[in-house]
Amino acid sequence: MGNAAEHQDQELSAEELAEIEKKYDEGAATRSVSPGFARFLRYVALTYAVYHYLTAGFGLPPDYWHMGWHLAGLFILTYSLFPLVKTKTAFDLKTGALRLGGVPYLDVILMVLGTASALYLGFAWHGVPFLGIEEQTFRMGNPNGYDLLFGCILIVLVLDIARRTLGWILPLIICVFMSYALFGPFFPGILQHPGVKFNTFVSSMYFPQEGIFGVTLWVVSTIVFHFVLFGVIAQRTGLGQLFIDNASILAGRYTGGPAKVSVVSSAFFGTISGSSVANTVSTGALTIPNMKRLGYPGHFAGGVEAAASAGGQITPPIMGAAAFIMAEFLEVPYTTIVIAAIFPALLHYVGVFTVVHLMARRLNLQGLSKEMLPKFGKVWRDGWANIVPLVGLLVVLFSGYTPYMSAFVGISLSIIAGMSRMRTPVTLIYAAAFIAFVIWKYMGDGFDLQMSIILIVGAIVATLNPQQRVSVREMADTFETGVKYALAVGAASAAVGIVIGVINTTGVGFRIGFMVTQAASNLGNDLHWLFAFGTWELFSVEDLTLFISLVFIALACILMGAGVPTTALYIMLVSVAQPALAQLGIPPIASHMFVLYYGVVAEITPPVCTSAYAAAAIAGSNPFRTGISAFTLGLGKVVAPMAFVYAPVLLFVSSTGFDFWEFSYTATSCIAGVICLSAAVVGYWLTPMGAVLRVLMAMAGLVFIAPSLQADLAALIIASPAVISQVIARRRHLATT
């Protein structure tokens, strides 16, 4: 009876979980509006989702119209759902003379102005003779009065929607960049530049190719939105539960079972979800109470879930929004980024898994009993059809089609798996429509015969789903939720386009990059004597310069990551890091991955670590301690970027080429380093470890990460006292039991 009460105590209801997600996920907390206005917003959200879904499959309109429609939808939904200032009562329903359906008239006016400024570009692209507006080509760099008016409105309102969805930090950083562009002559030293004229600034921020209508908004409006939508639909139709059940079957019965289930399910879930907080709440609802029942401290249980969930943004095949933007920046197929991310993601999960295992051994925690585990046969008998959409998406993606076409296929198959059933013939209309689309694409040489057959078979197989059918209303709710999830990333992408515009216009990225390498070089020269003995040197000045540059950039990522979303942080910092690391001979893909990883590390680095705070709310633990636990558990993610900068072979696709033996050796060395660090964090390997042995293991772990034979030999020498004493202590323990 006591157990049942405790179980009831620790399980959270769906409403409580939704509240936690609202509190910690920027895009989840929204204002209450009147039923009539809610209906209007529902139609807007569904129109928005259907527009993106159809354009992904049937073809995109011109960029300026497509991004304009995307921005217009962002303005309508953001100004309706996010209040001017977030107070305790700001989200409550308020009606009165100065409100429309619970939305203040000020927000309605801003919504109209934002929508007009977003759509004006398409309207005036080919000129409007009766208003005296020339064709856009003649106005580039020389905007007319209308351009200046709508351009200024757009810049201000894009910053405002970013502030409403994500808080003050990102808009303030962008304002610093804007000040730098406009007031260049007042900056000191190497940062000084002639300054950009106001007209030129507005023109470059407003007109396409750079600025707001640049690469970031294009990627989010044509690719990221669709993958967010796919992740939400796939999760709601049963793929998320299939992942959790299979993780329980795979890892539940071993030492510290529920914690390992958390790691495995978060890794699975990360393949369809780019949001760390959504991942934490979805899988943590089940795994955190299970870990606590098993005996893990609350802060550790929350830390495990947060660290594992933060890995979702770097877990192939569907990574966070930043990965799609990286593919555009590097001008490589998205599949190249996916392949490059395989080993680094594996290293992250090896680190989390090792800490969990050692902590379970230290606390002597057993796995789940056979009765508590889901039955393999039942799980797959009920849920097998939910894997069809993911398989369809990956087949199209890896066959060389565009990412948005693969997302279109994934969403279509998810709708079929959720709503079409052979036993209800009328519902087969969804499958029939998709099959007709595939045949149409085949007739127009869009799909080859093999791909067409695979997709038609996939659609037919998905209709055999034995699970209960999803109703039209439930699917509409899911589409609406997917749109709300995409608002924050859309606002961030539009706002951060301003940063890219400033960097391209002023060259500030190269200036700061030069300052970083110069400072690192000076510091390297000053410290070189510590590592040189006569003519022999342990590390050259170049080695020290590279290492110090990496540390500077890593610290900048972690510090700036306090409150800035991973995607925006990646875009801002890669503009600085890429020039700096390129000067030091680092391949572009390695430097981009380096920045992305440290951007994700910021998600679990106190004091601002939203994933850990969401996990702490579920675990009922101290948020700061949970953040510390998450950070220590994520050590694999902290050291992995250093490894692949020094050994780009770990990324498979680096320009330095791939050598299997070099890869195998370097990968083994890195894994050994992560295991040593994990043992140092937990204070346990074969038996409990004292402080001195933990320090030795930590030092050995860091040296192992440096991929060279000398470093590995040095690491073995450093670790040997700890390893030998652990083996002896283990034998003594076994002899006495």
Report pLDDT digits (tens) over 669-723. 888 888 888 888 888 888 888 888 888 988 888 888 777 788 888 888 888 888 8
Segment holding 511, helix H or strand E: helix 508-527
State the Cα–Cα distance between residues 635 and 625, nearest whole angstrom.
Answer: 16
Q: What is the mean pLDDT of the chain?
A: 84
Say if residue 34 is exposed, middle or buried (CB neighbours under 10 Å; 0-12, 13-18, 19+): middle
C-alpha distances in Å from residue 58, one per residue of 175, 231, 437, 446: 38, 21, 9, 10
State the Cα–Cα distance between residues 570 and 323, nearest whole angstrom.
Answer: 10
State which amino acid sits at residue 329: F
Closest by Cα among 477, 457, 472, 473 to 427: 472
Query: Could you tell me the two tokens for 128?
Result: 């409007």
The number of residues making up the chain comes to 737
Express each pLDDT in 714-724 by its tens digit.
888 888 888 88
Mean pLDDT is lowest, of 397-401, 537-541, 615-619, for 537-541
State the Cα–Cα distance between residues 212 and 224, nearest whole angstrom.
Answer: 16
- CB-based contact 501:204 (threshold 8 Å): yes
pLDDT at 347 (0 to 100): 85
pLDDT at 1 (0 to 100): 37
Token match 């540390």: residue? 551
Answer whether residue 110 shows pLDDT above 60: yes
pTM here?
0.84
* Better pLDDT: 610 or 503: 503
pLDDT at 6 (0 to 100): 39
Answer whether residue 231 shows pLDDT above 90: no
Express each pLDDT in 612-659 by its tens digit.
888 888 888 888 888 888 888 877 677 778 888 888 888 886 666 677
State the Cα–Cα distance between residues 159 and 31, nearest whole angstrom.
Answer: 19
Answer whether residue 7 shows pLDDT above 50: no
pLDDT at 253 (0 to 100): 73
Partners of 537 in beta bridges: 532
